[in-house]
Structure 1
Amino acid sequence: MATQTTRQAADGKDNSEIVKEDEADNKFQHMLRELESVRKQAYEEKHGREKAEQDLFEAFQKARVSENMYLGEVKQKNEIEEKLATVMEEVESLTETTDGLCAKLQEERKKRSALEKRTAHSDRIIKDLMLQRDKAVREVEALHAKKGESSATAEGTMHITELSSSEIKDATNNFDHSLKIGESVYGSVYKGFLRHTNVAIKKLNLESTESQSQSQFNQEIEILSRVRHPNLVTLIGACKDAQALVYEYMPNGSLDDRLACKDNSKPLNWQLRTRIISHVCSALIFLHSNKPHSIVHSDLKASNILLDGNNVAKLSGFGVCRMVTDEFRDTTTLYRHTHPKGSFVYIDPEYVMTGDLTPLSDVYSFGIVLLRLLTGRPGFGLLRDVQRAVEKGCLGAILDSSAGGWPAMQAEQLARVGLKCCEIRRKNRPDLQKEVWTVLEPMLKPASIMLCSLSFKSVSEDLGGVPPYFICPILQDVMREPLIAADGFTYEAEAIREWIDSGHHTSPMTNLELLHRDLLPNHALRSAIQEWLQTDAQ
């Protein structure tokens, strides 16, 4: 019994302890849960803080990037503003330059317009004078016809100066070989000084038969004493005893020599070549339309085209030319000449085959001259080469580069004209006046204007050593066309005309009243200037 009570007491103790232990355990568990909750809350707070710090760092980084971008944009904006300011300054400068150039262009256009008006006026005056001269010649011929006199025979009166043999010998230092400037099968040409003037004296070849020599002599006198044209060489005089003809001196020699740049002469530029082509065409039109008889040159070639001090082209070599008479023209357009003469390259093929000489024979020779000027090449094989180049569209490859940059369209036009002139069958060749001149005339004026602006450039750049009386008092440049005004002073034509046309009534030199507005050409001074320029160029 006691044992059971004791056991019960022990059991009761254990239960109370168990209860206490349970309560303690519960408290511990509660504390653990609270601790876990606190730990978890602390972890979450730490995680949130870290995330906040990360967000703050990223925001800071973004702020720095934004700040850098802003600074970069500000810098770029400043650079752009600086460049814009520079560009605006350049634009303003270019605007000022453009305005200046426009003003100069307007001024040049006005000058050009005035020059064209004066040129047109001069052309009208020249045409009127030529008409008056032709009328006077016709009246003289009619008067001679009434008197029964012949104006075109070897024994008749020549319209040129008759010179003595002694004068010819003195002028050439007895035909000194050092003065020889040309030679052909027909004779030799010497530079001479006759009556205070430089001249060219052609002495016919005495080795030819007397009849041939006399025929050549009479032929040149017959033609050149009858006709005058700016692009035909001027026959000054003749000496029957010495069988010598005296011509104006052409300081720039023959076209053949200039194309070969003989004596290191400067190449002809394309503007000058264009003008030479036009000059030759004009001379041929004049000869072919001569009244009452057409004249066929029949020996047109580069060596018979001479250039004066201004590089104006003039035809020479009239020893074998022919006249197509009215009687013969009534029956046919051809002139029978059984022995073709001249340089083979330039001779009309149909003339060679048939012996029939017509103005169209000169057209063929003109075509060869034109193509030589265009390409700078010799005549052999020239037609074939130009034809192929035109067909293949590569004409520029065979143009003479020493002439400068030919305008492509103009070069092709000239090439086609040259090829047309050189058609084998003469009926296919163009009419010089109606077809060829209409192509050349629009090219002539621009080329002449460009040549005018280029001429005397080297002299005007440096006036050292220039005789003072060669210089225009107004322009302070070497004169090209000196004119004498009423005050007795000589001026460049363009300058003094502009002075007078602008309303001035006084002298540019003395400021005194001009008695009249007439201007006279100073030929002596012009010749002296040309001779000086030629000597200076050498």
Structure 2
Amino acid sequence: MFSVQSPRPLRARGGDAAVERGRELRRESKVGARTRAKLREAESSRKEIEERERLEAEEADYRRVWAKGNELFYTRRYQEAAARYTEAVNKNPNEPAVFRNRAQCHIFLGALPQGLEDAEKCIELDPTYLMGYLCKAKVQALMQNYQSAMATYIEGLKRDPNSTIIIDGFKRCVTCIEKSKGGDVGIVDLEDILRDWHSDIYLSNELQKYMEEVAVLKKEASDERLRRMESEQTARTSEANHVQRQKETEEHLSKIQQELQQVKARQDEVANELQKANKHNEHAQNQLLESKKFHSEELQKASEHSLNLQHQLTESKERYNQLQSKHDVLLKERDAALEEVEKLRRRSAAMPCQFSLAELERATENFSTSTKFRECGVASVYRGVLRNMTVAIKVLRHDGQGRSQFEQGVAIHSRVRHPNLVTLLGACTELLTLVYEFLPNGSLEDFLSCEDKRRTLTWQIRIRIIAEICSALIFLHENRPEPIVHGDLHPANILLDANLVTKLSDFGIFHLLIQSNSNSTNHPVEAPIYVDPECLATRKMTPHSDVYSFGMVVLRLLTGKPPLGIKKIVEDAMEQGDLNSVVDTSAGEWPDVHIQQLAHIALSCTEQNSRYRPVLSGQLWTAVETMRDVAMLSSQSSSSLVQEESIIPSHFTCSISHEIMKDPQLTADGITYEGNSIREWFGRGKITSPFTNLPLQHQELIPNIALRSAIQEWLQQHSMVL
């Protein structure tokens, strides 16, 4: 029996290949879509990073401007501080503390309406900020509007009834009101006012307790409501998930049924085609050829489309890499520019007033030996008149050590200011020269070495000198970011001005001397007796090294004896209980308690092991400060010239405004004026001297730093504030 083989379903085979190719095209399209989505996400991330960096830069700039305003305020440069605070307000107008700081500047500058406006703005931004109420009340009191000041103090007490500063201010305001009426404040009046305040305080405390209980109940109810809501949300989520899974299961079953129906239909079609295959074999072959041709064309199109997508993807990647590279380059350029700007700012801030070589030669008569009054190992010091000021001109050697000391001196002096540190007026880079204020009384060594001069240093003055040296050393040691160590403290480097006020010189350069003489057998410091023995042995300098030198100076001021063996003399006298036998009697009759305290301080500071030496800013400073205050009271009670000393020196006042100068500026006529006054003079178009009425060669102004320091010292001595 013969049998025939049925032909294979050619059309079905070609149709499956087309479906499979369509699926591949869809997958490639999805890959392209995901790639484009990733590119969009990368671009969005890059923009977010740039925006975050911009906001961080603005925040850092805002904080820097605020900190600069605080720094200017503490140095009493109120006009510049107010400008900085204004800049900070423009960057962030919602910070009440900045408005309060600017109000303080306006108060010191006499601009009371502006100060009142800033104080009110401070309270508007934060009604709970007590310093805003205090500042506003002070302005109102200065404007003699005492009723408004009292109202402001009461508002502050409502915010904090226990604030002592608000209560003290209110009392002073009541006193001012009574005095303005010609009367005095009575105790009964103050008790009535305080009774009302305490009543308000009691009610406020009861209300506060009630509010705290209500807050606890509210929190418990809120927690219970949140737990209930979370339970309901969990139940709804679980139910929704169950419904979703059931829906997905039904959809999946529906799809399976549809596929089964399609498979059955396809099987029927295949069976029909198998039955008709023998009859239409030739027709099927023709269709196969046409199908192959069609699928070949579709495959070609799909390949071309795939290549096009790959080409687009490659171009997108290259474009992204180019943008990323440009972004990195721009970031590096920005960082480099910021670093360069910071370097230029530091360099300009560190550079003092520049003097020419010709000016120095004229001031010292071509560096005549007659003008030289001091010479040390690395420099010569001349006295001269420079721009109508008597100055000390220190010429350093032209070698590596001299240049290092010059750069170190400029760097340190330009960033530290203290009443008991010598003031650097300027420098000459060409000659490696530093120009300081001239101190007419020379050094402490000059007084201790001369018997006649030593008598002028009474025990009260000596205690004040010890306190001033301690204050200057504490200031240097607490410098940030790194402490400054004097390293060469001895009486020859402790200078005295016309009022015997202490000025430390040659600080911060000791490590340069050690580095340049590391192979030398001779120690570089002029007075090795005053140097810490540990520093001599290890060549490592710390603030404890200055503590040792400070103790040696105290011993000399106490005894008036030469430094060699002085510590052993005092130790023996203390063991024998006879310290009075070693004190310097030319200073007057020392109080016994001060002799004991100074001897104990000096010996503890000169301990051989630095770990046992005290910290200057701790209990030592408290003891020295107390002795100074007692000595000054004793000196003032025994002096008959106190009233005469309170007379304002004529050269401290401006010839234009006739007031004590805050910002003395030297002009071309050689006369010093108040900065704002002379600028207003020039602003009115005048080109002549306000004092001589002669034409000025130029309108350049030079800060008179020495006069400004003298004014500040005088004001501190007489407890006055500009």
- Structure 1 and Structure 2 fold alike (TM over 0.5): yes
The one-letter code matched in structure 1 to 2:541 is: L
- TM-aligned CA distance change 1:435 to 1:132, over 3 Å: farther
In structure 1, the residue matched to 2:383 is 191
Report if aligned partners of 1:172, 1:193 keep a CA contact under 8 Å in 2.
yes
Structure 1 match to 2:342: 148
Deviation of the 1:366 alpha carbon: 0.6
Please, which of 560, 573, 590 is the counterpart of residue 389 of structure 1?
A: 573
2:420 equivalent in structure 1: 231
2:479 is aligned to 290
Other-structure match for 2:613: 429
| SS at structure 1 position matched to 2:391 | strand
CA contact (8 A) 1:185 1:205 kept: no
Structure 1 pair 152–254 and aligned structure 2 pair: CA distance change class (3 A): farther
Per-residue CA deviations over 1:233-262 (Å, capped at 9, x if unaligned) read 000001111221100111111010011238
1:250 to 1:390, Cα distance in 2 relative to 1, 3 A: same
The 1-side partners of 2:593 and 2:346 are apart by: 46
- Matched with 2:444 is 255
Q: Deviations over 1:31-81 (max 9, x none)?
A: xxxxxxxxxxxxxxxxxxxxxxxxxxxxxxxxxxxxxxxxxxxxxxxxxxx
Of Structure 1 and Structure 2, which has the larger fraction of its residues in helix? 2
> Which residue is 1:406 aligned to?
590
| C-alpha separation in 1, matches of 2:561 and 2:75 | 38
Which residue of structure 2 aligns with residue 352 of structure 1? 536
Aligned to 1:363: 547
1:242 paired to 2:436:
no
Match of 1:304 in 2: 493
Matched, 1:372 2:566: no
Alpha carbons of structure 1 residues 455 and 314: separation in structure 2 relative to 1, 3 Å? farther
2:401 corresponds to which residue? 212
Partner of 1:168: 360
User: Matches of 1:160 and 1:485 in 2, distance apart?
Assistant: 25
1:129 and 2:74 matched: yes
Cα offset, 1:317, TM superposition: 1.0
1:379-435 deviation per Cα after TM superposition (whole angstroms, max 9, x unaligned): 110110011111111111111111111111111101110000000000000000013
> What is the aligned partner in structure 1 of residue 467 from structure 2?
278
Query: Which whole-Å CA distance do the structure 2 matches of 1:126 and 1:394 have between them?
Result: 49
C-alpha offsets along residues 190-236 of structure 1, whole Å, 9 cap, x if unaligned?
Answer: 11111111111111135xxx111111111111111111111110000
Matched-pair contact (CA < 8 Å) for 1:295–1:322: no
Tell me if the contact between 1:281 and 1:437 (Cα under 8 Å) persists in the aligned partners. Answer: yes
Q: Distance in 2 between matches of 1:356 and 1:250?
A: 32
> 2:285 matched to which residue of 1?
none
1:160–1:236 CA contact under 8 A, matched in 2:
yes
Secondary structure of 2:611's match? Answer: helix
Amino acid at match of 2:435: V
Per the TM alignment, residue 128 of structure 1 is displaced from its structure 2 partner at its CA by 5.4
Q: Residue 278 of structure 1 aligns to a residue in which SS?
A: helix
Match of residue 442 from structure 1: 626
Code of the aligned partner of 1:296: V
1:159, CA displacement in angstroms? 3.5
- Distance in 2 of aligned mates of 1:229 and 1:481: 22
Give aligned-pair identity as a percent: 41
Compared CA separation, residues 159 and 455, structure 1 to 2 (3 A): farther
Amino acid at match of 1:202: K
Query: Could you tell me how far apart the structure 2 residues matched to 1:215 and 1:202 are?
Result: 14
Contact 2:397/2:403 (8 A) holds in 1:
no
Partner SS, residue 295 of structure 1: coil
CA contact (8 A) 1:295 1:321 kept: no
For residues 55-111 of structure 1, the C-alpha deviation after alignment (integer angstroms, 9 at most, x for no partner) is: xxxxxxxxxxxxxxxxxxxxxxxxxxxxxxxxxxxxxxxxxxxxxxxxxxxxxxxxx
The one-letter amino acid of 1:130's match is T
**CA pair 444-144 structure 1, distance change in 2 beyond 3 A:** farther
Is the CA contact 2:401–2:516 (under 8 Å) kept in the aligned structure 1? no
8 A contact 1:288–1:295 mirrored in 2: yes
Contact 2:73 2:81 in 1 (8 A): no
Encode CA deviations 1:346-401: one digit per residue, 9 max, x unaligned: 11001111122111001000110111111111111011001111111111111111
**Corresponding residue pairs, total:** 339
| Counterpart for residue 91 of structure 2 | none
Mapped contact 1:233–1:248 kept (Cα < 8 A): yes
The alignment's C-alpha RMSD in Å is 3.9
The one-character-per-residue Cα deviations of 1:468-517 (angstroms, maximum 9, x if unpaired) are xxxxxxx67782566769997679xxxxxxxxxxxxxxxxxxxxxxxxxx
SS of the aligned residue for 2:75 comes to helix
Larger Rg: 1
* 2:484–2:508 contact (8 Å) kept in structure 1: no
8 A Cα contact 1:268 1:403, kept in partner: yes
1:124-155 CA distance string (max 9 Å, x none) = x999533879999x999xx98682315666xx
> Compared with structure 1, are the counterparts of its residues 426 and 193 closer, same or farther at alpha carbon in structure 2 (3 Å cutoff)?
same
Distance 1:202 1:135 in 2: 34
Deviation at 1:158, TM superposition (A): 3.5
Residues 1:456 and 1:187: Cα distance change in structure 2 (over 3 Å): farther
Instruction: Could you tell me which runs of 5 or more consecutive residues in structure 1 were left unpaired when the two chains were aligned.
Output: 1-124, 324-334, 461-474, 492-522, 531-538
Would the alpha carbon gap of residues 484 and 144 (structure 1) be closer, same or farther in structure 2, given more than 3 Å must change? farther
> Aligned pair 1:202/2:391, yes or no?
no
Q: Secondary structure at the match of 2:374?
A: strand
The verdict on how the C-alpha distance between 1:179 and 1:455 changes in structure 2, with shifts beyond 3 A counting, is farther
Distance 1:248 1:144 in 2: 36
Task: Please state whether the residue corresponding to 1:200 is helix, strand or coil.
Answer: strand
CA distance in structure 2 between the aligned counterparts of 1:336 and 1:131, rounded to whole angstroms = 40
The TM-score, its normalising length taken from structure 1, stands at 0.56
Residues 336 and 245 from structure 1, CA distance in 2 versus in 1: closer, same or farther, beyond 3 angstroms? closer
Instruction: Tell me how far 1:448 sits from its aligned partner.
Output: 2.7
Higher strand share: 1
Determine the C-alpha separation between the residues in 1 that align with 2:614 and 2:72: 26
Give distance in 1, aligned partners of 2:338 and 2:586: 53
Q: Which of 373, 377, 382 is the matching residue for 1:181?
A: 373
CA separation of 1:172 and 1:337: change in aligned 2, threshold 3 A: closer
Alignment partners' CA distance in 2, 1:249 and 1:191: 8
